[in-house]
Structure 1
Amino acid sequence: MKISKLLLAAVAAFGMGGSASAADFNLRIHTLVKSPHPYNDMAAFLKEDIEAKSDGRIAVRIFDSGQLGQDPAVISEIGLGTIDMMISTTSNAVQQVPEYAIFTMPYIFTSMDDALAKVGPGTPIEAHFQKVYEERGLNMKLLALGASGTRNMSTAETVVNGPDDLKGLKMRTPPSPMDSKTWAAFGMLPVTVAWGELYAAMQTGVAQAMESSLPGYTGSKLYEVAPNLALTAHTIQVNHTSISNRTWNKLPEDLQKIVQASAIEANKLGVEKAKQYDDELVSELETKHGVKVTRPDTAAFIEVLAPIQTELAKELDLEDEYALVKAK
């Protein structure tokens, strides 16, 4: 019997697929963002580093731009082991890890280097959140915390030069009580919108103001619907790299060490890429996309928020986390 060309092609494709899947372990990494963004740079580093150092025993596939879903759903999938790893902002995980809300408290860190020094490998904060993961039964392991850029304010119509310009604006927030209470302190009206729905929300007026990292703002083309950018640098974005316990427990100890070490190095890269993007993107946004950029005096914003930091920490049951961040 003659074998059709189609069948031969299918056999060849299967053979190539088998070769590509020859690794002992296959890891799927989720990010929510589009490039350019530090999270995708970190994911690319993880793929190259883990595959090389494991001598091909681990194969890594990256699913960026929310291909695997929004963060809260992905965290649930990681708990089940159907997704292996994720790199994302801690603010999108507050539904499952309410303690992460501490990192959305504005002006709690002075710089990205300060943030990494306080949340990085071997710190009390990292140890604290590793314990939180266990206590909350998330069935996932925290590999690393890092810093990935400043978060800044952008609006559809209002040019922001100071706190008074924010009053009455509908402010998009992630599902984070800290964010809602923070922006309400400026007289804004918080509205909860998922990141993947933000473009449409700004376009239709469901929200009139938003805040984000500069790579997130640029990569998702939010400048098209929020063309006024105020460099408030109110938050140093903290990210987490997490892995499913089911996936982690399948890995032999030598491969666990490789994945752990790679995650730590990826976070260092994330900080450097975030600095680079923050510097480069402001110029690009102004010159290529016609974004109106303002540089408000951040002291005026700090003056509004500083008195309520301890109050917010107490109200949201974040006093332990607040003390850890403020500890010298």
Structure 2
Amino acid sequence: MKKVLVLVLASLLIFSFAVSAQEMTLRLADNQPEGYPTVVGAKEFARLVEERTDGRIEVEVYPGGILGDESSTIEQVQFGAIDFVRTSITPMANFEPAMNVLSLPYLYPSEEYMFQVLFSEVGEGVLDGLRDAGIVGLTWYDSGARSFYTADTKVTSPEDLEGLRIRVQESQLMMDMVEALGASPTPIAWGEVYSALQTGVVDAGENNYPGWYYNSHHEVAPNFVEDAHNRIPELIIMSEITWNKLDEEDQEIIKQAAVDSTEVQREAWDKRTEEAKELAVEEGATITTLNAEQKQAFQDKVKGLYPKYSEGYEDLLDSILNFEMEE
């Protein structure tokens, strides 16, 4: 009788464990507000996971930095306190230096070129490098292309930037890039850029279309040149602790749902970008589009930075520069 009771209890424990392993609620952190393209993508990811697991796995999305800023949420992912985070690749370079290569200026000829690279073996190899930090890289998201905008000067060549004081982030790579283009990098807090442009503390800034328009920088720096000097992708990462709790089938579902959500996120980003561009032009801003030869002139000016920022990852840089796109 005692033996039977032990077997029954063991069976109940096994059954209980199986149910708990299959049914779970996971948390995803994003520091952007509700409705932002990355949050739209994250919610599509959550929807796909719930749909493809018949509701067994639910992903709750917490936008607006509710669970903390990017740095703190990444740390929480490592410890398993948060299951997913949508983050820029910039802080991820602390865990995988190869991320620095992906941020090099004028690296990708186009958005489509970048995404084909990221979703190839090249990009998967970079994501795999996060495993040593207890992080699983799931997919890549879009954050647009950063370009220059000026208060007075219309820019069509690197020479037009010479001598200008350009607001940059507190990033050595960004400061080196601006110097290579002949301008003076001026690190200023993001919230102070409008007044700095308005009062002439700086002559120019740089960001993507939504950053330029929705922060009203187009009012004081109405000349936007589409040089696309930086395309810095974003990504969804997952705690390896959570990942290891899943069986192989659910791991595949999570990974594929993340990848499939990228299309929705990119569409949301493109819509936001076009809206910002159109509204800025309606309000008197000027857009300058560069041809291939003009863009090459900018890239030639900064290529000297590549060896410094790709040291130890020369093969990765070479594979990106010589990547063969699919038709």
Per-residue CA distance 1:55-74 (angstroms, 9 max, x = gap): 22222222333343432333
Matches for 1:89-238 after TM superposition, within 5 Å: 89-120=88-119, 123-134=120-131, 137-155=132-150, 157-162=151-156, 163-174=158-169, 176-191=171-186, 197-204=189-196, 209-218=204-213, 223=218, 228-238=223-233
Q: Once the 2 structures are TM-superposed, how far is the Cα of residue 239 of structure 1 from its aligned partner?
A: 2.1
Q: Once the 2 structures are TM-superposed, how far is the Cα of residue 242 of structure 1 from its aligned partner?
A: 1.0
Tell me if structure 1 keeps the 8 A contact 2:138–2:258: yes
Code of the residue aligned with 1:313 in structure 2: it is Y
Provide the residue aligned with 2:281 in structure 1: 286
Provide the residue aligned with 1:85 in structure 2: 84
Greater alpha carbon shift after TM alignment, 34-43 vs 48-57: 34-43
Code of the residue aligned with 2:288 in structure 1: it is R
Code of the residue aligned with 1:187 in structure 2: it is G
| Secondary structure in 1 matching 2:316 | helix
Tell me if structure 2 keeps the 8 A contact 1:170–1:189: yes
Q: Once the 2 structures are TM-superposed, how far is the Cα of residue 250 of structure 1 from its aligned partner?
A: 2.3
Question: Quick one: distance in 2 between partners of 1:170 and 1:70?
Answer: 30
* Structure 1 gap ranges (5+): 1-22
Matches for 1:263-302 after TM superposition, within 5 Å: 263-287=258-282, 290=283, 292-297=285-290, 299-302=293-296
Question: Quick one: distance in 2 between partners of 1:80 and 1:192?
Answer: 33
Code of the residue aligned with 2:320 in structure 1: it is V
Moved over 6 A (4+): none
Q: CA RMSD in A?
A: 3.0
Q: TM-score w.r.t. structure 1 length?
A: 0.76
Question: Quick one: distance in 2 between partners of 1:210 and 1:107?
Answer: 17
Code of the residue aligned with 1:250 in structure 2: it is K
Question: Quick one: distance in 1 between partners of 2:164 and 2:98?
Answer: 27
Tell me if structure 2 keeps the 8 A contact 1:160–1:294: no
Pair 1:314 & 2:311 matched: no
Question: Quick one: distance in 2 between partners of 1:284 and 1:243?
Answer: 37
Code of the residue aligned with 1:203 in structure 2: it is S
Tell me if structure 2 keeps the 8 A contact 1:185–1:305: no
| Secondary structure in 2 matching 1:250 | coil
Q: Once the 2 structures are TM-superposed, how far is the Cα of residue 46 of structure 1 from its aligned partner?
A: 1.0
Q: Once the 2 structures are TM-superposed, how far is the Cα of residue 184 of structure 1 from its aligned partner?
A: 1.7
Code of the residue aligned with 2:102 in structure 1: it is F
Pair 1:304 & 2:298 matched: yes
Q: How many residues matched? A: 295
* Structure 2 gap ranges (5+): 1-21
Q: Once the 2 structures are TM-superposed, how far is the Cα of residue 226 of structure 1 from its aligned partner?
A: 5.3
Closer/same/farther in 2, CA of residues 273 and 313 from structure 1, 3 Å limit: same
Provide the residue aligned with 2:62 in structure 1: 63
Q: Once the 2 structures are TM-superposed, how far is the Cα of residue 164 of structure 1 from its aligned partner?
A: 3.6
Q: Once the 2 structures are TM-superposed, how far is the Cα of residue 291 of structure 1 from its aligned partner?
A: 5.7
Question: Quick one: distance in 2 between partners of 1:26 and 1:203?
Answer: 45
Q: Identity of counterpart residues, as a percentage? A: 21
Tell me if structure 2 keeps the 8 A contact 1:95–1:175: no
Provide the residue aligned with 1:251 in structure 2: 246
Tell me if structure 1 keeps the 8 A contact 2:118–2:124: no
Tell me if structure 1 keeps the 8 A contact 2:222–2:285: yes
Closer/same/farther in 2, CA of residues 27 and 223 from structure 1, 3 Å limit: farther
Provide the residue aligned with 1:24 in structure 2: 23
Question: Quick one: distance in 2 between partners of 1:83 and 1:192?
Answer: 32
- Computing the radius of gyration over CA atoms, which structure comes out larger, 1 or 2? 2
Question: Quick one: distance in 1 between partners of 2:203 and 2:75?
Answer: 31
Question: Quick one: distance in 2 between partners of 1:217 and 1:37?
Answer: 15
